[in-house]
Amino acid sequence: MTERVQIILWGAIGFVLIGLAVPWFMWRSDAVVAGLPIWIWWHIGWLALASVVFYVFAQRAWGLGVERGGHRG
């Protein structure tokens, strides 16, 4: 897989993580599970997922798109 494709895929993953971080579809829900509102559980699960994604990103793609040669002025 080329570097450009990897950058595009990681960018898309980042936008999905950002886009679904706020559970707008649960705003009017008053459902409670184990004593906490369901949207709190969404945030707990989403933060856990984001942590795993960041770990994978840091292991595989840290530095993608960063030029190795410094700017010479």
Q: What predicted TM-score, i.e. pTM, was given to this entire model?
A: 0.77
The predicted-structure confidence for 55-68, as pLDDT tens digits, reads as follows 999 998 888 877 66
Rounded to 5 degrees, what angle do the CA atoms 52, 55, 56 make?
90
The predicted-structure confidence for 8-33, as pLDDT tens digits, reads as follows 999 999 999 999 998 888 888 889 99
Rounded to 5 degrees, what angle do the CA atoms 49, 54, 60 make?
125
The domain limits of the chain are: 3-60
